[in-house]
């Protein structure tokens, strides 16, 4: 490791240089602040030993400039007993520690060791943050469509708040990924992110999992155990498929939200927690509330901010970038060099309705990469359901080949236009009803009409 020694005394340079070399460090000598700054510009330095009393530029000014250029640089100042106040001032400016003259060798080495450990931890934390940003940042939730851009904007606005968030969307649309992005961009990012698989366990086990239990609370409770709410304290807890939680557990969950406290099963002590709830479901919670299967008061506590994730069939423009992203991921994971998707395969990916949404697309690309014997994903490598166009609720599309000079994309746009105009005519021009006939959201229909320049007058224009 490189240690820069900034001191104009030749004797001290020799003493520190010998000491550092014996410990396996590489000392670099600088006899002025100006020389130290030039060295830092041209080569990596892991730690700086800086004398505050220098000719020309003062040690304090060197400290300020180094910290300005590299806030993570570890600087240990060396000072005489008579200028301890200056050393304390240097620490206020960001110095790691100070060593008074005359110093003991063991003291110098111990301080250097602690400083290098601090640099290592800082570097690891930065790398971890960068990994988290890559994994849970918005760049990893791929979507160029207008509907996904709205989702990103809502996450940006909602994440820093303390409000509970409800994420709605079909299975496979990426609800947990959005929940993690919310946590990562919140003030709780340094705290835990805990996932609860709400519908995968019976009520008693779910309550024990959420709230913990004391020793002897039930048969098999041989020790006291923390629940997930305790584990998630100062962080976020994500309820996957919140609609599946039994009514009796819903009442206890409501109390935690309202009072921020609970008791372990079999316990008498109240435990207070500070947890943000992000809940997700593909169920119609309004219908569950109306039928009495979901508590209305809990619904309103969870539904402070709602984020709707559109199904993949409503944002087909996101399919090519998603497919290429998964292609890169699984090529790297499997040590293969599959870099392209054939036009025929991409066309089929665009036509398929993806009942399993992004998760189904990811599985299809992973399968194709594994089976590929070349650098290409072609039509034959797609799953049979995708090749045959079979999907839940889908209807086969029979269309003639595009006329000469008409591209595939122009033909698709023309077909979309005809379909929308026919739906509008059937609905008497009422867009909400037309959206229901097309099985898309009214906002999606509105966006498509704008993109295809379809106006109210178009409804009365004959369609070929």
Give residue-wise pLDDT tens across range 348-402. Answer: 999 899 999 999 999 999 999 999 998 899 999 999 989 887 544 444 444 555 5
Where is average pLDDT lowest: 134-143, 238-247, 285-294, 394-403?
394-403
Handedness of CA 118, 124, 127, 132 (dihedral sign): negative
- Smallest CA-to-CA distance from 76 within 16, 15, 24, 21 is with 16
417 within 8 A of 462, measured Cβ to Cβ: no
Question: What pLDDT is stored for residue 415 in this prediction?
Answer: 75
- pLDDT for residue 86 is more than 90: no
- pLDDT for residue 72 is more than 50: yes
φ/ψ region of 342 (left if φ > 0, alpha if ψ in -120 to 50, else beta) reads beta
Give residue-wise pLDDT tens across range 310-361. Answer: 999 999 999 999 999 899 989 999 999 999 999 889 989 998 999 999 999 9
Provide the edge-to-edge strand list for the sheet that holds 97-101.
26-30, 2-6, 47-51, 75-80, 97-101
**CATH of the domain spanning 314-388:** 1.10.8.60
Provide mean pLDDT across the span 89-108: 88
- Provide Rg for the chain, Cα atoms: 31
pLDDT band at 433 (very low <50, low <70, confident <90, very high): confident
> So where are the chain's domains?
2-130, 141-310, 314-388, 408-460
Token couple for 161: 């708040």
323 within 8 A of 365, measured Cβ to Cβ: yes
CATH number 3.40.50.300 is the correct assignment for the domain at 141-310: yes
% the chain with pLDDT above 70: 89
| Long-range pairs for 156-161: beta carbons < 8 A, 24 or more residues apart | 156/185, 158/182, 158/305, 158/307, 159/183, 159/184, 159/185, 159/186, 160/185, 160/186, 160/187, 161/186, 161/305
CA distance 35 to 28: 11
pLDDT band at 83 (very low <50, low <70, confident <90, very high): low
Provide mean pLDDT across the span 173-179: 91
DSSP string, 240-256: ETGGGS-HHHHHHHHHH
- Contacts of residue 305, defined as CB under 8 A and 6 or more positions apart, other chains included, come to 154, 158, 161, 163, 164, 165, 166
- For the chain, how many helices (H) and strands (E)? 19, 14
| H/E element, 238 | strand 236-240
Helix (H), strand (E), coil (C) string for 266-333: CCCCEEECCCEEEEEECCCHHHHHHHCCCCHHHHHHHCCEEEECCCHHHCHHHHHHHHHHHHHHHHHH
Question: What pLDDT is stored for residue 403 in this prediction?
Answer: 58
- pLDDT for residue 421 is more than 50: yes
- pLDDT for residue 434 is more than 90: no
- Contacts of residue 196, defined as CB under 8 A and 6 or more positions apart, other chains included, come to 209, 210, 228, 237, 238, 239, 240
Where is average pLDDT lowest: 25-29, 126-130, 206-210, 443-447?
126-130
Same fold, 2-130 and 141-310: yes
Question: What are the backbone angles phi and psi of residue 413, rounded to the nearest 5°?
Answer: -60, -40
**CATH of the domain spanning 2-130:** 3.40.50.2300
228 within 8 A of 275, measured Cβ to Cβ: no
Question: What pLDDT is stored for residue 460 in this prediction?
Answer: 60
Give residue-wise pLDDT tens across range 238-260. Answer: 999 899 898 889 999 999 999 99
Provide mean pLDDT across the span 57-63: 91
- pLDDT for residue 452 is more than 90: no
The angle subtended at Cα 310 by Cα 308 and Cα 315, nearest 5°, is: 150
pLDDT band at 164 (very low <50, low <70, confident <90, very high): very high
Q: How many Cβ atoms are within 10 Å of 57's Cβ, its own excluded?
A: 15
- Smallest CA-to-CA distance from 354 within 310, 321, 324, 398 is with 310
């Amino acid at each position: 490791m490189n240690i820069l020694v900034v001191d104009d005394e030749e004797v001290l340079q020799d003493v520190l240089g010998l000491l550092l070399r014996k410990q396996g460090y590489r000392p670099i000598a600088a006899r002025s602040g100006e020389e130290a700054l030039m060295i830092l510009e041209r080569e990596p330095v892991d730690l700086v030993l800086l004398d505050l009393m220098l000719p020309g530029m003062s040690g304090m000014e060197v400290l300020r400039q180094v910290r300005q250029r590299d806030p993570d640089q570890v600087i240990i100042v060396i000072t005489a007993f008579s200028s301890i106040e200056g050393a304390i001032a240097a620490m206020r400016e960001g110095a790691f520690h100070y060593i008074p003259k005359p110093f003991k060798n063991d003291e110098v080495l111990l301080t250097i060791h602690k400083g290098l450990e601090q640099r290592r931890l800082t570097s690891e934390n930065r790398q971890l943050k960068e990994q988290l940003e890559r994994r849970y940042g918005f760049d990893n939730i791929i979507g160029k469509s207008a509907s996904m851009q709205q989702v990103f904007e809502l996450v940006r606005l909602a994440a820093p708040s303390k409000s509970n968030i409800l994420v709605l969307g079909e299975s496979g649309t990426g609800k947990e990924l959005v929940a993690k992005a919310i946590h990562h961009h919140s003030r709780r990012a340094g705290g835990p992110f805990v996932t609860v698989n709400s519908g995968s366990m019976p009520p008693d086990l779910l309550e024990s999992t959420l709230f913990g239990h004391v020793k002897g609370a039930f048969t098999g409770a041989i020790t006291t155990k923390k629940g997930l709410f305790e584990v998630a304290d100062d962080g976020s807890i994500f309820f996957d498929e919140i609609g599946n939680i039994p009514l009796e557990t819903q009442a206890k969950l409501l109390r935690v939200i309202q009072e921020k406290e609970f008791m372990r099963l079999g316990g008498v002590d109240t435990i207070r927690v500070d947890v943000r709830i992000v809940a997700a479901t593909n169920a119609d919670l309004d219908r569950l509330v109306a039928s009495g299967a979901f508590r209305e008061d809990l619904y309103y506590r969870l539904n402070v901010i709602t984020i709707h994730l559109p199904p993949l069939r409503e944002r087909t423009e996101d399919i090519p970038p998603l497919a290429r992203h998964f292609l890169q991921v699984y090529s790297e994971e499997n040590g293969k060099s599959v870099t392209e998707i054939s036009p025929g395969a991409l066309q089929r990916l665009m036509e398929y309705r993806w009942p399993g949404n992004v998760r189904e697309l990811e599985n299809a690309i992973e399968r194709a990469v594994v089976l590929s014997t070349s650098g290409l994903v072609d039509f034959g490598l797609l799953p049979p359901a995708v090749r045959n166009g079979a999907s839940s609720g889908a209807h086969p599309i029979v269309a003639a080949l595009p006329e000469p000079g008409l591209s595939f994309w122009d033909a698709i746009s023309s077909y979309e236009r005809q379909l929308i105009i026919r739906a509008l005519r059937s609905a008497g021009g009422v867009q909400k009803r037309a959206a229901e006939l097309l099985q898309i959201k009214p906002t999606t229909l509105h966006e498509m009409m704008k993109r295809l320049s379809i106006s109210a007058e178009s409804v009365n224009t004959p369609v070929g």
